[in-house]
Structure 1
Amino acid sequence: MTTTIGTAEGSDGYSVDGRFDIGGRSIQLTCRGAGAPAVVVDAGMGTAPAEDPGWQGIAAKVAEHTRVCLYDRAGLGASGAAPELIRTSADAAADLRNVLHAAGIAGPYLIVGHSIGGLHAQVFASLYPEETAGLVLVSSTHPDQIDSWLSVLPAPAPDEEKAVTEARTFLTSMANDPTKNEERLDFKASAAQARKLRSLGSKPVVIATHSTSYRMVPGLSEPIAVKLEAATQRMQRGLLSLSSRARQNISKTAGHGLPHEDPSFVIDNILEAVGMARNER
């Protein structure tokens, strides 16, 4: 039996704000607005969107048009820690589904995923296609991202620039050692889970991509930085294959932190997907 700590009115009410029991631990969920599809935000690594001013501002605008929910993954914000020492995107997706059900939020859901949240969103759509109305992937992690970036970096050399060494070390650590990231996410396992998503058919997929002028690694020489960003942009375009109704929008100036650097752009992309889901455009 699920229990609620806080205020909840469920699918027929206007607001939900509290921690919901999903089997011995609680997950924070905050929802505002009314209408379908319900927009559900899965934020970037280490971010608790229910407490984050950037995502709160975005949600306030989206709530003028439809229901929108901010959820804190296990161990973030007001959500309890998960029992597993190592987590995968499938674990995050199951938690999200469980808390939405516990709160009485009716699906199918339009999942908005930023950065690593985008990888979780892809896995959610793969595991629960009937509960997925569509995806908005905001500067999303791609399942091939780490391998692609590592392949772009030059071979190790004794006199290589420090930024290259640091980038290679970070990416290798992210790929091979889940204890090195703050959510103990097994990226390799999660990427394999995301690759199982072949197609959402004609469900809307909106790709909100950061600017082509963004540079992932500060201090990296421009020729290598350009190659890294070109690889990233190719992967972002590749996400268009997830649906016959997929669209991509690219920010003119904002970097990877789109929800905080260009919140209006994120809002526009979410509302575009809402309209597509409603067959308005």
Structure 2
Amino acid sequence: MKREPVINSLQIINNHKLEILQKGRSGPLIVILTGMGCSFEEWYEVTEELRKTTQVLMYHRPGLGDSELGAEVRNTFATVQDLYELLHFLKVKEPIYLVGHSYGGLCAQHFVKVHPEMVAGMVLVDSTSVNVRELDELDLPVLNEESDEKWVLKCLEYASKEKEQLTSIIQPSLLEKHKQFPVDIQERLISFQCNPSLYKAMASEIQNWKKDAEIIKKLNELTNTPLVVIGRDKEHSILSDSEADIPEWELRTFEEKWEELIIQQGNLSENSDVIFAEGAGHSIFLNRPDVVVDSVLKITGK
């Protein structure tokens, strides 16, 4: 599948426009599924390195970026359908290597269980677990104040605003890492945050993700699909969040459970490695892009 080095395009997939980013001319095809509410532009450093020896395909789920949000429910199966149709549209014949971060990792797990013949290997980057409900069972008074219900209400409030109003409310900003990216990418990252449809899509994903996890859990196992599971640095995450007026014991309890769920993901395949990215928080692709790149190249043999 020969392509120009970098192509950003809009294509009609499943009757709605999807914003697609393609990098690289040759080599195995890497498909990256981003986290909830996250732009593929944040993966700039990772994809610039991967494009040297592989092809990279990313897209914004409906409602994100320039991708059109339809009336359908946004859940992991909708993402499975979109990705399947996108690969068909691009005439991809060879099995892909799937990379999923956070909620995108939950989508990746759903896709590989429905279409195992289409996936040559997978990297889960601090992925949401199919056992995510176990986090809700922790007795954490401060952390549990931020419930899914409150998150959905906030997203729906933002979704009801015009773009100019939303920009004024959220005051979009960039992380220090983002400021190292090219100026045009920084501008797109700012604009990405001010799109009302982003928050409407997120509300739908949040309303469905725990039901999705239960569905995915009951699907077929991966058997021997090559798998690398990357988890964040527990101590780094506790230290980073310690300034947010959350008791350290709550942070530690949460992070220990999250680490346990990450380790469990290694059981998804008989051919897996579980590693933790030292010095990285949840956005491992920003904090330790080298760990993500090395893991992808490991499963592709490049």
TM-score higher than 0.5: yes
Alignment of 1:238-277 (within 5 A): 238-275=264-301
Assess, with a 3 A threshold, how the Cα gap between structure 1 residues 104 and 28 changes in structure 2: closer, same or farther.
farther
**Counterpart-to-counterpart distance in 2, 1:112 and 1:174:** 29
Spell out the pairing of 1:181-220 with structure 2 (5 A cutoff). 182=199, 183=202, 184-185=204-205, 186-213=208-235, 214-215=237-238, 218-220=244-246
**Which residue number in structure 1 is paired with residue 16 of structure 2?**
25
Cα distance in 1 for partners of 2:92, 2:34 equals 19
Change beyond 3 A, Cα 1:23–1:88: closer
2:136 pairs with 1:150? yes
Q: Deviations over 1:113-146 (max 9, x none)?
A: 011000000011111111111211001011212x
Contact 2:75/2:212 (8 A) holds in 1: yes
Counterpart contact for 1:25–1:81, Cα < 8 Å: yes
What CA deviation, in whole Å up to 9, does each residue of 1:234-258 have, x standing for no partner? Answer: 1101001111110011111110011
2:219, 2:259 → 1: CA distance? Answer: 20
Give the unaligned 5+ runs of structure 2. Answer: 157-197
Give, in whole Å, the separation in 2 of the partners of 1:91 and 1:187.
Answer: 12
- The structure whose RCO (Cα within 8 Å, separation 6+) is larger is 2
Q: What secondary structure is seen at the aligned counterpart in 2 of 1:248?
A: strand
TM value normalised by structure 2: 0.76
Q: May I ask how many residue pairs the two structures share in their alignment? A: 251
Cα–Cα, structure 1 residues 56 and 197, in superposed 2: closer, same or farther, change >3 Å?
farther
In structure 2, give the amino acid aligned to 1:39. Answer: I
Is this contact kept in 2: 1:198–1:242, CA < 8 A? Answer: no
Cα contact 2:105–2:127 (8 A) shared by 1: yes
Query: 1:117 corresponds to which residue?
Result: 104
TM-aligned CA distance change 1:175 to 1:153, over 3 Å: farther
1:176 is displaced (CA, Å) by 8.7
- Which runs of no fewer than 5 residues in structure 1 stay unpaired? 1-10, 155-163
Partner of 1:136: helix, strand, or coil?
strand
Match of 1:78 in 2: 66
Cα distance in 2 for partners of 1:106, 1:32 equals 18
Match of 1:99 among 78, 81, 86: 86
In the alignment, the residues of structure 1 paired with residue 56 and residue 71 of structure 2 have an alpha-carbon distance, to the nearest angstrom, of 28
Structure 1 residues 126-165: aligned runs within 5 Å = 126-145=113-132, 147-154=133-140, 164-165=141-142
Query: Alignment identity in percent?
Result: 24
Q: Cα deviations across residues 187-215 of structure 1 (Å, max 9, x unaligned)?
A: 12211232134422221111111102113
Q: Which amino acid aligns with 1:111?
A: L
SS in 1 for 2:70: coil
Superposed CA RMSD in Å reads: 2.4
Q: Name the SS of the counterpart of 1:152 in structure 2.
A: coil
Q: Which moved more, 1:109-118 or 1:33-42?
A: 33-42
- Kindly indicate which of the two structures has a greater share of residues assigned to helix: 2
